[in-house]
Structure 1
Amino acid sequence: MAYFEGCVPETVSCGGDLPTGSLEERFGRPQGNGGELDKSTKSLQSEMESGSRIEGFRFKESDWDTTHWQNNLRVIWNIFQVLSYHEESLFLSDCSNSPPGFTLLQLLTSDVTYPIPPTCIVMNGKLYLSSSKYRGMARFGIKSRPNLFQHGPCNNGNYRGLYDYDDAHCLFSDFWPPSATSWVDRCQSWPKPRIVHDIVRNGCHCVAIGHKLGNHYNTEWRISFSLAEQILVNSMNHCQFLVYGLLKIYLKEVINNGLDDKDKLLCSYHVKTAVFWMIQTNIMPFWCPENLLECFWLCFKLIIKWVYQGYCPNFFISENNMFLSNIHGEAQQDLFTRLYGLYEKGLASLLHSACIGSFVIKMLFIPGGIICTNDRKLISEIRFDAEVSEEIQISSLIPTKDLYHCLKALHTVEQIRGLCLTEYQAGLLQALTVHILQGTAFVLADMYPNRGTNKVKFITDKISRNMLKLTSKFGFISDMLYFAIFYYKTFRWIEALSVLEITKGRLAQPYLMYDNNVNKERYIEAVGGLSWSTKIRKALAKDVTLHNDIINIYINELVPEQQNCMQNNETLVSIPPFVLLHMLEVLCYKHIDIRRAHTALYDLQVLVQYNREGYIDDAYKDISWQILGICQQVCGNLQAALDSYHQSLQQYPNHQIQTATEMRIRDLLQRFQ
């Protein structure tokens, strides 16, 4: 979410004339509410996702970046472009005193009056938007979140321990910058004219960061082509994408291995730039699977050449030397020595990568051993399955809060089914369909709980059960727990326990893959080489997610936690399947056999306290201790429940349920009095 208080006009007329009126009238001042914008301003914001995950990679370190900008603010490159706008506030680019790839942004105004807007400065009698002040205002507007810090022009954080993310605040330009015109002329062989046209038509962004060696570091803005780069990556053929992924792995596990963060001078953006240049300067037939390692080696040699020369040309503005600020002098010499040492080892240096070493052996020494994965990932089968499983869990955020959203999502799935899908895409669609059917089943069950005729209740109940049977058949092993939740919610405890017994047996399989926990030999023996769809059903488990926008349709005992999460803008509660299984056993047996309820409670307590199998990640310990306390309280062990709630408070607050925990503690203390 972008924040631009202090420099966001409500309406500014630019229909051929420059804006008039005092700056204080046109530009608001920061309010004392943490920089929060009103609803009318929020509707003016747009965002774009980028980063490794959007490009198609699912490595553990792959990030997810989001770029935010205000729709009523635009950057133009010459004064005649003013005529294209009416109510937007315009900033005229001034590149005359900035290094290539950077610019100053002059606010087009008829006068300069005082007080100056908080995000602007005056230079030579003109008003300029300050990148450092803009970043500060954006940072001021972000509500406090754990482990959120400033990283260049971005606010950096981590989502539930799954992946890193960057939120960048910028301005948008509908026009292609003149400094990148030479790139258009250079595109003779790659990319295709249609793609070049799309890239130019989509414009670019200006990110709030200046050149470290520029004269106006705190005021300059960097011209960003992140959207263009995303289009270029999507236009790569299979071999080109594999080379790009191979270089990213090689950079992390070989070039930068063992280095401190301050010594990691090369980054994935340099790698991407090298691939772009190499594709453009080599004929297309060259990029085929048989030449995979040769293509990789040419890109690596190009990077060595750049380091030796101390010049890495930006792909769109070649005059922009991306090594200028940090790769020079002694650091440049050390990096070149390191890279040349790897170069002398030849392709054998790839064997230093734990991730791809075994694949390289097959490529080099096994006849016909070239690896061509349809999923565009040069990683082992087990690691691929783990990453895709994680990706599906992240992607299970399709709205299912009401019947309209459910039917809309199902209609979309029906349309996608008619397309020609890869095996990976088909598996992903299968998992997402299961997720939609689960949400639809619970929404239907909640529509007629205490109203409507018995016939209507019977029909909706039957439809919900049939949907959940399908999800149990085609979904992850852990998806069977939704069926058990449904039976528990509708007071059919024996049926719920029957489902739980089957689920427990399937989760106990020695080849089960959950998160990164898997017996590799057993897994390969059981499902190695099978389709991704089959692996989902037979060998994979994931966390169970309870969406907070449909609170009352899951487990009543967890309603306070879901409400607390929703108040903290958390969209869902994620629970490890083993924890939820034992919780449902406790809750069901409590109504049937209290002795077996205590047995299930003991199993849950051993799991949470000792976690010998590593089935509870640190990010889920807060909710796991909370569930243990709830089950202990249900079984009447109040002191143990109180201790578990205190343990929950001591964990990393990933689910933001502290208020619910404190409320439960207060209720227990009142009972003790």
Structure 2
Amino acid sequence: MSGIPDYAHNLSLKMSQVMDGIGVNEKIVMKRRRLRLLNESIITLSHQLRGEDANIFIFGSKIEGTTTLGLHSDTDCLTSVNKFNVIQDWSEWENGKRNFLMIQDEYVSPGYCLLQELRDDAPLPLVVESHGNSYRDRMGRILLKNTFFNVVANVNSVRHGPAHTNQGVSGVTGLDFVPAFPCHVRPVQARHWLNQHREELWPTSDMIQYCNNTRCFVVGVGRKGSVNEAVEWRISTSFAERFLMFNLSITQIRCYVLMKMILKTFITPRFPDSISSFMCKTVLIHCILYTRSDAWKENTLFICLSFCLSTLYNCVHNEYCPHFFITQNNLMSGKFSPESKPLILKTLRYVIESNGKALLVIECDNIDKYLQSSLNDFIPMHPHFIPTLIAGQLLKCDARGISTNFNFLLSKMNDLSPRLAMQKNLTFMSYHHIENYTNIDKKAYLLIARYLCSTLGSILASSNIYQQDHLTYKKALSFMLLGLDSDVASGKLKLASVFYCTGDIWRTEIILKNIEECYDLSVVEPVCGCYHFKNGAKRERFNKLCYESNEECTLLRYITASCVCFIRCEINCCPLELQHEMFRSTQEDFAYRNKDDEWMNMAVVDSLPYLYFLQYKTYSRLGRQDDKQTALSNIARTIDVEPNLGHRETALNLLGQCMEQENNLESAFKCYARSLQIRGRNNSAKIHICKLLNKLINRKYNN
């Protein structure tokens, strides 16, 4: 490195400092990985607890830690459907699964395969087309078309290659769901590089061995322009790729992020379908493979970036970028038109030859401003809160994931009888594969199990209230105690609801006091996983704690407050005012729901306004007027000032009913009207307005 000019070392250090400041540092990268892996386990577990034989894997920038706030990366979720089995040898055929034989010959594009359908009862080829996605080729083989998964796609999604991307959901970054078939033995094409004798330090022999043992997938998309495009399936080595990305140094990660920013700034706006981020990742891996590990340092970041860009330039010039694992697969084949290629090369040449000046026009994440400030030695050169903001976003995202997946489980019980709901809940909690869980899977299970304990206890208590079964009541309390610290409030609020509905006001008050003491308004973040909505700014102290702690599972329990959910067989543990939320929809309203609105069949309320509502009801029974009015004021204040309530309309409905009980009918009507402004359909405010109008008419008539 002695021949490198001093300005390159200085620029590299400044670039490294800026990347650290926007959250591309070891701490945030590891936090992204931990929380995304936890989220992956939670999603998989919730599907399996519901009886779906599938594994969900998260791939791409968000789990690799190779993204920033300004890159707006999508989340790639691959769903491996385990009832299918892709084999390469007849000995791999499995009874009880739908098997396909992978075919790779000279007529199939490199990196792709054909799937021949096999019989269910024996390892033999299927000879008769059995469904609309079957295709008989010229050799008489029954092949599976790659449109097979289209029938299971979300009606609100749009297909992009093998993925189905959610569209039109407010406040949500794109989610790409990729259904896939598992292939437990690596295809021959993907083993070539693993079998080579290597003397390089990266990847190490242990890394190669791990990659060799990881599964592959096949996803439903063929190579564009191929004669077999309708029946080709792409071979995915995402598991091994993710593992390699997990073993990059922070300088290598920063180099990749900068490549993506350059792409976003200079290439994508003019040539959107030319160079992809995956090509940049492949170029980076090839560059790492042929350089020494000590070449990638903070003070050589600019040199490494220039090397990667020069390699990318050569790839575009030659229209050749071999897939890292499947080298026969040229990622750039047919990607550039004769008109666009010279312009792309000219743009890349400008960036490479600018000696770093091109970096000063990258607006993504304000790199231009921060780098200019750093080069001029201005302090501060970047906002200190960005890494803490990212940490807060990551933790709340996982909290929402837990809430969403728990709601999915509740939706399976909502229309069941109390007895069947209890059986379903116990089945969830005694999931028989837990002994095979990894450490992170066990953490995911415990996080969900606490919510399940609260629900089971509440179902038992509701049954007790109906049947007056004292033994059942004791069992109910024992389960609810196990779920008290599911988060800072919702588990305790469930218990307080049970005490309130059984008339135990003294215990109700004690629990509510404890919740209020634990619920630090400057720290605790409300969490709603019922539907997607744009959150407001998070609390600075919440973000700070998220950044400083590496024990995210503990933080989830003590600085987040999930919604409180009651299914219909818990109705006797749900205050009368909240029960209306279980019947919020008219027949006409049902037409305005989508498949993710099953939560509307439950009574769901944010923890903080529900805390104050229960305080209002408790102090009303105790005859403590000052405390009652304070609780009423707190409900109104929370509705007005808390930016992250997911069920503000429900809080307004509760406040309106409190106002009715205060005989303030005008204020009650205003609450219901505000509620309808927030959610015009599927809102129990309509019921309350009808009852209120009836009350007003009767009052006028009686007077």
Matches within 5 A, 1:163-202: 163-186=173-196, 188=198, 189=200, 190-202=202-214
Task: Give the whole-Å Cα distance in 1 for the aligned partners of 2:525 and 2:126.
Answer: 67
Which residue does the alignment assign to 1:211? 223
Is contact 1:313–1:321 with CA below 8 Å preserved after alignment? Answer: yes
Which residue does the alignment assign to 1:627? 651
Question: Structure 2 stretches of 5 or more lacking a match?
Answer: 1-47, 411-424, 528-534, 585-592, 699-703
Task: Give the whole-Å Cα distance in 1 for the aligned partners of 2:185 and 2:141.
Answer: 22
2:229 is aligned with what amino acid? Y
Moved more, 660-669 or 263-272: 660-669
Task: Give the whole-Å Cα distance in 1 for the aligned partners of 2:326 and 2:685.
Answer: 54
Which residue does the alignment assign to 1:385? 391
Task: Give the whole-Å Cα distance in 1 for the aligned partners of 2:355 and 2:320.
Answer: 23
Which residue does the alignment assign to 1:650? 680
| Corresponding residue to 1:517 among 531, 537, 540 | 537
| Corresponding residue to 1:118 among 97, 109, 132 | 132
Q: 1:629 to 1:382 in 2, by over 3 A?
A: same
| Corresponding residue to 2:232 among 204, 220, 224 | 220
Task: Give the whole-Å Cα distance in 2 for the aligned partners of 1:614 and 1:250.
Answer: 39
| Corresponding residue to 1:91 among 101, 108, 114 | 101
Alpha-carbon distance, 1:624 to partner: 1.6
Is contact 1:45–1:68 with CA below 8 Å preserved after alignment? Answer: yes
Matches within 5 A, 1:218-617: 218-248=230-260, 251-252=263-264, 254-255=265-266, 259=269, 263=272, 265-289=274-298, 291-347=300-356, 349-350=358-359, 352-353=362-363, 355=365, 357=367, 380-396=386-402, 440=453, 451-452=469-470, 460=478, 464=481, 468=484, 479-480=488-489, 483=492, 486-491=495-500, 492=505, 494-495=509-510, 498-499=513-514, 502=517, 506-507=520-521, 517=537, 531=549, 542-546=560-564, 552=570, 555-556=574-575, 557-558=577-578, 561=581, 579-580=609-610, 583-584=613-614, 586-588=616-618, 590-591=620-621, 592=623, 604=635, 608=639, 615-616=643-644
CA deviation profile, 1:145-194 (whole Å, cap 9, x unmatched) = xx422222122227884553222233333333233343224572332333
Moved more, 233-242 or 445-454: 445-454
Q: How big is the alpha-carbon RMSD for the aligned residues of Structure 1 and Structure 2? A: 5.4
Moved more, 91-100 or 290-299: 290-299
Q: TM-score, normalised by structure 1?
A: 0.67
CA deviation profile, 1:591-639 (whole Å, cap 9, x unmatched) = 456787677657655765xx6x67147xx3xx32133123313432464
- Identify the structure with bigger relative contact order (alpha carbons < 8 Å, sequence gap 6+): 2
Task: Give the whole-Å Cα distance in 1 for the aligned partners of 2:161 and 2:151.
Answer: 14
Task: Give the whole-Å Cα distance in 2 for the aligned partners of 1:239 and 1:93.
Answer: 40
Aligned length: 577
Which residue does the alignment assign to 2:76? 65
Q: TM-score, normalised by structure 2?
A: 0.64
Alpha-carbon distance, 1:119 to partner: 0.5
Q: Secondary structure at the match of 1:507?
A: coil
Residue identity (%): 17
Is contact 1:356–1:379 with CA below 8 Å preserved after alignment? Answer: no
1:624 is aligned with what amino acid? R
Which residue does the alignment assign to 1:82? 90
Alpha-carbon distance, 1:132 to partner: 4.4
Q: Secondary structure at the match of 2:141?
A: strand
Q: 1:616 to 1:551 in 2, by over 3 A?
A: farther
Q: Secondary structure at the match of 2:336?
A: coil
Task: Give the whole-Å Cα distance in 1 for the aligned partners of 2:86 and 2:552.
Answer: 51
1:154 is aligned with what amino acid? A
Q: 1:59 to 1:548 in 2, by over 3 A?
A: farther
1:323 is aligned with what amino acid? M
Q: 1:583 to 1:344 in 2, by over 3 A?
A: farther
Which residue does the alignment assign to 2:20? none
Q: 1:407 to 1:213 in 2, by over 3 A?
A: closer
Alpha-carbon distance, 1:269 to partner: 1.7
Q: 1:408 to 1:318 in 2, by over 3 A?
A: closer
Alpha-carbon distance, 1:405 to partner: 6.9
Task: Give the whole-Å Cα distance in 2 for the aligned partners of 1:434 and 1:98.
Answer: 46
Matches within 5 A, 1:24-35: none
1:207 is aligned with what amino acid? V
Alpha-carbon distance, 1:93 to partner: 0.9
Task: Give the whole-Å Cα distance in 2 for the aligned partners of 1:550 and 1:160.
Answer: 29
Task: Give the whole-Å Cα distance in 2 for the aligned partners of 1:534 and 1:221.
Answer: 38
Q: 1:223 to 1:536 in 2, by over 3 A?
A: closer
Q: Secondary structure at the match of 2:234?
A: strand
Task: Give the whole-Å Cα distance in 2 for the aligned partners of 1:438 and 1:116.
Answer: 44
Task: Give the whole-Å Cα distance in 2 for the aligned partners of 1:106 and 1:382.
Answer: 51
Task: Give the whole-Å Cα distance in 2 for the aligned partners of 1:224 and 1:114.
Answer: 29
Alpha-carbon distance, 1:118 to partner: 0.7
Moved more, 588-597 or 625-634: 588-597
Task: Give the whole-Å Cα distance in 2 for the aligned partners of 1:59 and 1:555.
Answer: 43
